[in-house]
Structure 1
Amino acid sequence: MDHNVPPSHDRTADAAAGYTHDDPAVDDALDWFGRLRDGTPDPAVLDQFGQWLAQDPRHATEFRALEEMWGSSAFLKAVESLPPETVRAPVRRRQGWLMRVAAVAAVAALAAGIWHYPRMMADWRADYLTATGDRATVRLPDGSTMVLNTDSAVALDFDNGRREVSLLRGEAWFDVRHDPDHPFRVTGGFGRAEVKGTAFSLRREDGRDEVVLERGRVDVSCLCDGAGPVALHPGEAVTVPPAGPQAPVPASPDRLAWREGRVMFRDTRLGEVVSELSRYYDGTIIVAGDRISRIVVTGNYRLDRIEGAIRTLADAAGVRMTRLPGGVIILR
Structure 2
Amino acid sequence: MTEHLPPARPTDASRSADAQALDWFAQFSQQPQAAFDDADFQAWLAVDPDHRAAFERWQADWRRLDTLPDTAVQQLRRQLAADKAADLLGQRAQPRPAPAVQPARPAWSAPLAWLRGCTAAVPRAALAAAVLLVAGGAGRMAWEHWQSRPLFVQDYATGRGQQLNVELPDGSRLRLDTATRVHVALYRQRREVRLPEGQAVFQVHGDADRPFDVLAGSVKVTVVGTQFAVRHTAGSPVQVAVQEGQVRVSAAGPSDAVLLTAGQQVQADGDGRLSAVGAVPPAGIAPWRDGRVSFDNVPLSQALAEFERYGPTRLAVRDPAVAAMRLSGTFDPRRLDNFRKALPKVLPVRLLDPQGGEGAQTLIVAAP
Structure 1: gaps spanning 5 or more residues: 1-124
Question: 1:295: how far off?
Answer: 3.9
2:223 paired with 1:190: no
Partner letter of residue 343 of structure 2?
A: A
- Secondary structure of the residue aligned to 1:320 is strand
Residue in structure 2 matched with residue 83 of structure 1 by the alignment: none
Question: 1:138: how far off?
Answer: 0.8
Residue in structure 1 matched with residue 353 of structure 2 by the alignment: 322
CA distance in 2, matches of 1:143, 1:261: 25
Could you state the TM-score of these two structures normalised by the residue count of structure 2?
0.51
Question: 1:204: how far off?
Answer: 0.9
2:241 paired with 1:212: yes
Residue in structure 2 matched with residue 331 of structure 1 by the alignment: 364
Structure 2 residue aligned with 1:287, among 299, 304, 317? 317
Residue in structure 2 matched with residue 223 of structure 1 by the alignment: 252
With over 3 angstroms needed to count, the CA separation of the structure-2 counterparts of 1:283 and 1:299, relative to structure 1, is: closer
Question: 1:130: how far off?
Answer: 0.6
Which structure is larger by alpha-carbon Rg, 1 or 2? Answer: 2
Residue in structure 2 matched with residue 92 of structure 1 by the alignment: none
Aligned-pair identity (%) = 29
Partner letter of residue 178 of structure 2?
A: T
- For residues 68-87 of structure 1, the aligned pairs below 5 Å read none
Question: 1:257: how far off?
Answer: 0.9
- For residues 68-107 of structure 1, the aligned pairs below 5 Å read none
Partner letter of residue 256 of structure 1?
A: A
- For residues 112-131 of structure 1, the aligned pairs below 5 Å read 127-131=155-159
* RMSD value, Cα: 2.5
- For residues 137-286 of structure 1, the aligned pairs below 5 Å read 137-206=165-234, 208-224=237-253, 227-241=255-269, 242-251=271-280, 253-282=283-312, 285-286=315-316
In 2, are the aligned partners of 1:191 and 1:244 still within 8 Å (CA)? no
CA distance in 1, matches of 2:208, 2:324: 48
2:329 paired with 1:299: yes
Structure 2: gaps spanning 5 or more residues: 1-152
CA distance in 2, matches of 1:199, 1:128: 19
CA distance in 1, matches of 2:311, 2:154: 22
Question: 1:178: how far off?
Answer: 1.3
In 2, are the aligned partners of 1:299 and 1:313 still within 8 Å (CA)? no
Question: 1:266: how far off?
Answer: 4.8
Question: 1:145: how far off?
Answer: 0.9
In 1, are the aligned partners of 2:229 and 2:285 still within 8 Å (CA)? no
Question: 1:277: how far off?
Answer: 1.9
In 2, are the aligned partners of 1:188 and 1:204 still within 8 Å (CA)? yes
With over 3 angstroms needed to count, the CA separation of the structure-2 counterparts of 1:239 and 1:296, relative to structure 1, is: closer
In 1, are the aligned partners of 2:243 and 2:285 still within 8 Å (CA)? no
Residue in structure 1 matched with residue 8 of structure 2 by the alignment: none
CA distance in 2, matches of 1:284, 1:190: 33
- Secondary structure of the residue aligned to 2:363 is strand
Structure 1 residue aligned with 2:337, among 300, 308, 322? 308
CA distance in 1, matches of 2:154, 2:339: 31
CA distance in 2, matches of 1:330, 1:239: 33
With over 3 angstroms needed to count, the CA separation of the structure-2 counterparts of 1:309 and 1:134, relative to structure 1, is: farther
In 1, are the aligned partners of 2:164 and 2:176 still within 8 Å (CA)? yes
CA distance in 1, matches of 2:184, 2:360: 34
In 2, are the aligned partners of 1:254 and 1:265 still within 8 Å (CA)? no
With over 3 angstroms needed to count, the CA separation of the structure-2 counterparts of 1:270 and 1:157, relative to structure 1, is: same
In 2, are the aligned partners of 1:314 and 1:321 still within 8 Å (CA)? no
Could you state the TM-score of these two structures normalised by the residue count of structure 1?
0.56
Instruction: Summarize deviations over 1:123-150 as a string: whole Å, max 9, x none.
Output: xx97110111211111112111111111
With over 3 angstroms needed to count, the CA separation of the structure-2 counterparts of 1:297 and 1:203, relative to structure 1, is: closer
With over 3 angstroms needed to count, the CA separation of the structure-2 counterparts of 1:256 and 1:220, relative to structure 1, is: same
With over 3 angstroms needed to count, the CA separation of the structure-2 counterparts of 1:142 and 1:247, relative to structure 1, is: same
In 2, are the aligned partners of 1:221 and 1:244 still within 8 Å (CA)? no
Partner letter of residue 331 of structure 1?
A: I
By relative contact order (CA 8 Å, sep 6+), the higher-ranking structure is 1
In 1, are the aligned partners of 2:213 and 2:220 still within 8 Å (CA)? yes
Question: 1:205: how far off?
Answer: 2.6
CA distance in 2, matches of 1:174, 1:143: 11
Question: 1:285: how far off?
Answer: 3.6
Residue in structure 2 matched with residue 16 of structure 1 by the alignment: none
In 2, are the aligned partners of 1:136 and 1:149 still within 8 Å (CA)? yes
Question: 1:160: how far off?
Answer: 2.6
